[in-house]
Amino acid sequence: MVTKTGLRAALLMTGALLSGIAFAQPAPTDSEKEIERYRAMISDPMSNPGFLAVDRGEVLWATKRGAKNVSLEGCDLGEGPGKLEGAYAKLPRYFKDTDQVMDLEQRLLFCMKTQQELDTADIIKRKFSGPGRASDMEDLVAFIANKSSGMKIAAQLSHPKEKEMAEIGEAIFYRRAGTHDFACATCHGESGKRIRLQGLPDFSKPGKDAQDSMGSWPTYRVSQSALRTFQHRMWDCFRQQRWPEPEYGAAGITALMVYLNKQANGGEINVPSIKR
């Protein structure tokens, strides 16, 4: 006959044994090394499906569309009309013709509306790809960003509005809100944090964490079988924080990107990368 005392002791012993088993699992750093080894194996352009998006984006860039039946090849992304090399490395940035700080997606939408006179409602509806739904924006971002691959992130902070956006972005980074009282800093405000096997970069200070992370977007997500832009990353982060869904191309998201690029300044861009 098992007494209550004996049962309690058995349960405690079982818990101790299970704890021992848990502690005997491979160290997180070992898991991270295996993940990085896997990424390295499929990072070659011939193995990374993200480069299919680059190819599709190249076609879209040169495709004539809209009421004016012109391509995007005259779009000025900051380096002059049609000049793509190094443009992504300096975005978001201030544009005099709009008197705004704009990221790549905002600028592309502006060019579609003004230069092509294209109805962008369907473009925005398909801002993120899904089963049976391609995304022009994801493909265009992949193509344009790849033109800065191997270059350094060059955060633009010389114009007063760029400095203002960096300050707003920092405030948003630390702002706690939503049903779970989360902020970006909840997950990314100190080093050594992780979700399951996934290490979380620390954006609270400039340096390698921020550089490696910001220099890896856009990326091909193996778990989603899709090329994802940093706009999608922001949308998904706010979803997981249980915040309201941000409007696509919202100024607040751009401000947050300016702040994160400031923290990542000087980091090397290698895109499209590949992630889990």
63-89 per-position pLDDT tens digit: 999 999 999 999 999 999 999 999 999
Whole-number CA gyration radius for the chain: 22
Which region, left, alpha or beta, applies to residue 61 given φ > 0 means left and ψ of -120 to 50 means alpha? alpha
CA dihedral (187, 189, 193, 195) in degrees, to 10, reads 10
Amino acid found at 48: N
| 247 or 195, which is more confident | 247
For the beta carbon of residue 187, count every other beta carbon within 10 angstroms: 18
What confidence score (pLDDT) does residue 276 get?
82
Strand blocks (E) in 210-264: 219-221, 226-228
Residue 185 has pLDDT above 60, yes or no: yes
Closest to 88 measured CA to CA, from 219, 218, 256 = 218
Is 111 a known active-site residue?
no
Residue 216 dihedral angles phi and psi, to the nearest 5°: -110, 5
Closest to 87 measured CA to CA, from 29, 141, 36, 164 = 141
What confidence score (pLDDT) does residue 19 get?
37
Query: Would you call 71 exposed, middle or buried from its count of C-beta atoms within 10 A (0-12, 13-18, 19+)?
Result: middle
Q: State whether residue 220 is helix, strand or coil.
A: strand
Confidence of residue 192 (pLDDT cuts 50, 70, 90): confident
Residue 137 has pLDDT above 60, yes or no: yes
Residue 269 has pLDDT above 60, yes or no: yes
Structure tokens at 179: 């049903």
Q: State whether residue 268 is helix, strand or coil.
A: strand
| 159 or 28, which is more confident | 159
Confidence of residue 33 (pLDDT cuts 50, 70, 90): confident
Query: Would you call 177 exposed, middle or buried from its count of C-beta atoms within 10 A (0-12, 13-18, 19+)?
Result: middle
Contact yes or no for 267/214 (Cβ under 8 A): yes
Residue 125 has pLDDT above 90, yes or no: yes
Which is it for strands 219-221 and 194-195: parallel, antiparallel or unpaired?
A: unpaired
Instruction: Flag the least confident range among 10-19, 39-48, 90-99, 169-178.
Output: 10-19
Q: Which of 75, 184, 187, 237 is catalytic?
A: 237
Contact yes or no for 256/137 (Cβ under 8 A): no
User: Distance (Å, rounded) from C-alpha 188 to C-alpha 172?
Assistant: 13
Per-residue pLDDT, averaged over 239-258, amounts to: 93
DSSP structure class, residue 248: T
What confidence score (pLDDT) does residue 43 get?
61
Residue 102 has pLDDT above 50, yes or no: yes
Instruction: Flag the least confident range among 162-176, 207-221, 231-245.
Output: 231-245
Q: At what angle do helices 50-62 and 136-146 cross, to 10 degrees?
A: 100
Which is it for strands 273-275 and 219-221: parallel, antiparallel or unpaired?
A: parallel
Residue 26 has pLDDT above 50, yes or no: no
**Bridge partner residues of 227 (DSSP):** 220
DSSP structure class, residue 91: -
Amino acid found at 182: F
What confidence score (pLDDT) does residue 29 get?
59
As a whole number of angstroms, the longest Cα–Cα distance in the chain is 88
